[in-house]
Amino acid sequence: MNGKKGTWKFIPTKEKISIVALKLFSRKGFKGTTIKDIAKKVGITEGAIYRHFTNKEEIINYLITRISEELRTLIETKVLPCKGIREQVSRLVELLVNYAFDNPDAFRFLTVYHILRHNNNSIQLPGSILINLFRKAYRKGDIKVSPEVALSLIIGSVERLFILWELNIIDLPRKQLVEELKSATLKALFGC
């Protein structure tokens, strides 16, 4: 949704439901959001939602699949083609920070989903690509910390930076934040 008046009516109902559900889930949580809440915000009946989704769990799975595919595509096209693990890590940090700041509801949703529902094996989260990248680099001796620590360092740092940004505690330009986080991450993983 681009925020312009009148464009909402041209968006298909399933997409409206997913946009509103994403916002509500990311702010109120899964348990705190009801089908009734979603229907009210979309401006439709609860029954209309059931023409597109069988239940709330299906909406959640639809959203996590969509967001995961989007991030996986970004990682596969923007990070993996970079030459060497240092450049991949640098690009990954930049990609994740920019994704979080540009898509706060999706980033928040993915974080909550990952923490609360990681045991759902039917959905491959983007972290699986990253852990494989770090395992390969670790086996080759390109990084000195375990793959799990490398992934935790990057994801955890981006999440904390995002939280500080959302709370208006950070008063630095995004470009500077990205560069500082890239520098700190490269020092932590490679010692330089």
**Range 86-117 burial, b when 16+ CB lie within 10 A, else e:** bebbbbbbbbbbebbbebbbbbbbbbebbeee
* One-letter amino acid of 25: F
Q: Are 24 and 38 in contact (CB under 8 A)?
A: yes
Alpha helices for the chain (secondary structure H): 13-28, 35-42, 46-49, 56-74, 84-102, 104-117, 127-140, 147-166, 174-190
User: What CATH architecture applies to the domain 11-54?
Assistant: Orthogonal Bundle (1.10)
**Residues 158-185, mean pLDDT to the nearest whole number:** 94
Q: What percent of the chain has pLDDT over 90?
A: 74
Same CATH fold, 66-190 and 11-54?
no
> Which tens digits make up the pLDDT trace of 179-190?
999 999 999 999
| Amino acid 9: pLDDT | 74
The answer to whether 92 touches 75, Cβ cutoff 8 Å, is: yes
Rounded to whole angstroms, the Cα distance separating 2 from 7 reads: 8
Task: Tell me the pTM.
Answer: 0.86
Rounded mean pLDDT, 155-182: 93
pLDDT at 10: 80
Q: What is the mean pLDDT of residues 151-169?
A: 93
The confidence score (pLDDT) of residue 117 equals 53
The CATH class, in words, for 66-190 is mainly alpha
pLDDT at position 165, please? 92
Q: Where are the domains of the chain?
A: 11-54, 66-190
Distance CA 176, CA 99 (A): 16
pLDDT of 175 higher than 80: yes
Average of per-residue pLDDT across 75-93: 96
- Tell me what pLDDT residue 1 has: 37
**Residue 153 pLDDT grade (very low, low, confident, very high; cuts 50, 70, 90):** very high
**Residue range 41-51: average pLDDT?**
95
